[in-house]
Amino acid sequence: MAFLLAFLLGCVDGLRCMTAPAVVCWAAHLGWLHFAGTKFAFIDHPSTLIVFTLLAIVELIVDKLPNTPARTAPVGLMARIVLGGASGMALGMGAGISVSLAGVIASVGAVVGAFAGYNIRHAVVLKAHVPALVAAIAEDAVAIAGGLLIVSHIS
């Protein structure tokens, strides 16, 4: 079950690359994940929570700008793979499962989430005639709610 949650957290990262690290920080802050005495102890520090939360908020805003590159572009995709993997590793540590395997599974999830999210969002805009901003905000809501739901179920 924890490996499935790592994959799904990677998918969230594929939608919004800073959301997964931010929800992992919030999970630590809320006591859902425990990192005391591990290499991931920095995640439970207030400054880490503030930095990743602010980065996630900035990403939510920047995503709506017209010149923002596609998430499937090489730089964006690499960021999603790395941050998704790191979030999966943290989830693995908090769940007591193989950290490396959770990271790899989450990285795969990030790629799946990036391409699936990109294609679904474009299909909704083009075929359902939903305004792009509405589709983007709905995707934000899915990423945030999904990420929180995933990390709340790990303990």
pTM of this structure: 0.94
Decide if 110 contacts 35 (C-beta within 8 A). no
pLDDT digit string, tens, across residues 24-70: 999 999 999 999 999 999 999 999 999 999 999 999 999 898 888 88
Average pLDDT, the chain: 95
* 104: amino acid identity, one letter: V
Q: How confident is the model at residue 12 (pLDDT cuts 50, 70, 90)?
A: very high
Every domain of the chain and the residues it spans:
2-152
pLDDT digit string, tens, across residues 65-79: 888 888 999 999 999
Q: What is the pLDDT of residue 129?
A: 92
The whole-angstrom separation of Cα 19 and Cα 6 is: 14
Q: How confident is the model at residue 155 (pLDDT cuts 50, 70, 90)?
A: low
User: What count of Cα atoms within 13 Å lies in the side-chain half-sphere of residue 22?
Assistant: 22
